[in-house]
A = this chain, B = another copy of it.
């Protein structure tokens, strides 16, 4: 693509042009001029913090995101939302349904929602998500929310992109046990027991607090447990305040700097990994015709041979 035209679209992004935001996100997702676009945007962004919201399907994450969005909008803040959903060619219905619930903000030009599937390699989704959050920041969305469905390892990896992780659970569902099994307790900065109108909410709160007492991670932040009910509109202001409190904690404790450093390292590593993958694909393709057919099935030997052939100055065993 013509770089001048691309630059114009990027300039329009910074002018908070909604169409430019959507276009750039699509291009980056489709790997069209991704490096060029992201290089430009990275220089201008990285200040905003990301609130991550995760929990099992049906816990009410989308409703909570909608409620939070309402609170942000009341303070005249623009909100960018990325929702990562597991998906399949057969599905679509349920995910669309989630999005439809956000229709209260569907016509609000200061709210931008992007849904993503997790089909294909997870690493790809993680990277796209991180890029999309940057683009949204570039487009002037000052509040960034990242929502993922599920309580597994994949969701944990996605949540590494969030500065504040909110884990949403429901009383009486065994959610707590699932969350513990998935190792999600350790990454939570704020717990929400949503649908707190249901029986068992207070008991679940007690259980979680007890488990938090058992862990000793040495952090000065202790994850609060907030009871919410979207239907009765209770606890939502408290949730908002706890998220803000965590944000202040990150800034004051220097943790925020630590997050930024970690993410820079990860971004640089991803560039290297991408670069090597491109090289590897060429090398592997070229090797097919040559000697991979020679019944050699030792990946260690092949790796070393291909490496030394490609990187002439680099000995494998150094």
Residues of A within 8 A of B (CB): 35, 38-39, 42-43, 46, 57, 85-91, 94, 118-119, 121-122, 150, 152-155, 157, 177-178, 180-186, 211, 214-215, 260, 264-265, 267-273, 275-277, 280, 284, 292, 297-304, 306-307, 311-314, 316
Contacts and interface: CB of A to CB of B under 8 A. Distances in A.
8 contacts: A35-B300, A46-B297, A88-B182, A88-B184, A90-B215, A94-B181, A122-B153, A152-B154
Nearest to A304: B271
Contacts of A273: 273, 276
Contacts of A307: 271-272, 275
A126 B304 CA distance: 21
A131 B46 CA distance: 39
A150 B56 CA distance: 12
B300 A42 contact: yes
Which of A153, A276, A313 has the most CB atoms of chain B within a 10 A radius of its CB? A153
Contacts of A46: 297
A53 to B, nearest CB: 17
Nearest to A152: B152
B298 A90 contact: no
Given A180-B91, A181-B91, A183-B87, A122 B119 contact: no
A166 to B, nearest CB: 18
Contacts of A267: 299, 303
A180 B117 CA distance: 13
A116 to B, nearest CB: 12
Contacts of A292: 264
B118 A178 contact: no
B312 A284 contact: no
A314 B313 CA distance: 10
Contacts of A122: 122, 153-154, 157
Contact of A280 (B154, B181, B272, B301): B272
Top 9 A-B pairs, shortest CB-CB distance: A271-B303, A267-B299, A88-B183, A152-B152, A153-B154, A39-B300, A268-B303, A268-B299, A86-B182
Contact of A272 (B86, B178, B181, B276): B276
Contact of A269 (B86, B280, B301): B280
Contact of A214 (B90, B153, B184, B272): B90
A314 to B, nearest CB: 7
A4 B307 CA distance: 28
A264 to B, nearest CB: 6
A212 to B, nearest CB: 10
